[in-house]
Amino acid sequence: MFCYQCEQTAGGTGCTRFGVCGKSPEVAALQDLVVYTLKGLSAVAAEARRHGIIDGEVNRFTCEAAFSTLTNVNFDPERFPPMINKAVELRERLKEKVKEKAGATEYPEAALFQPEKTLDAMIRQGAMHGIMSDVDVDTDVHGLKWLLVFGMKGVAAYADHAALLGQEDEKVYAFIHEGLAATLDPKKTVPEMYDLVMRCGEINLRAMELLDTGNTGRYGHPVPTKVPLGHRKGKALLVSGHDLMDLEKILQQSVSKGIYVYTHGEMLPTHGYPGLKKYRHFYGHYGTAWQNQQREFSQFPGAIVMTTNCIQKPQESYKENIFTTGLVGWPDVTHIEDKDFTTAIERTLELPGFEDDAPGKEVTVGFARNAVLSVAEAVVNAVKDEKIRHFFLVGGCDGAKPGRSYYTEFVEKAPKDAVVLTLACGKFRFFDKDLGDIGGIPRLLDVGQCNDAYSAVQIAVALAEAFGVGVNELPLSIILSWYEQKAVAILLTLLHLGIKNIRIGPSLPAFVTPNVLKALVDNFNIMPITTPEADLKAILG
pLDDT in tens, 255-272: 999 999 999 999 999 999
Q: Could you give the angle at which helices 190-219 and 514-524 cross, rounded to 10 degrees?
A: 60
Q: Specify the DSSP class assigned to residue 315.
A: P
**355, 358, 364, 366 alpha-carbon torsion, rounded to 10°:** 20
Check: pTM over 0.75? Answer yes or no: yes
Query: Between 3.30.465.10, 2.40.50.40, 3.40.50.2030, 2.40.50.1020, what CATH number should domain 225-350 receive?
Result: 3.40.50.2030
**Ranges of each domain in the chain:** 10-218, 225-350, 367-540
* 10-218 and 367-540, same CATH topology: no
At 529 the pLDDT is 97
At 339 the pLDDT is 95
At 359 the pLDDT is 86
Cα–Cα distances (Å) from 188 to 37, 131, 369, 407, 509, in that order, read 20, 17, 39, 38, 22
Does domain 367-540 match CATH 3.40.50.2030?
yes
Cα atoms found within 13 Å of the Cα of residue 492, Cβ hemisphere only: 32
At 538 the pLDDT is 97
* Of residues 490, 400, 416, 402, the one with CA closest to residue 453: 490
Q: What is the CATH number of domain 10-218?
A: 1.20.1270.20
At 401 the pLDDT is 80
| Cα 271 from Cα 261, distance rounded (Å) | 11
* Number of CB atoms found within 10 A of residue 57's CB: 11
C-beta of residue 151 within 8 angstroms of C-beta of residue 55: no
Q: Is 343 exposed, middle or buried (0-12, 13-18, 19+ CB in 10 A)?
A: middle
| Cα 247 from Cα 537, distance rounded (Å) | 42
At 134 the pLDDT is 83
pLDDT in tens, 518-535: 999 999 999 999 999 999
Q: Which regions in the chain score pLDDT beneath 70?
A: none
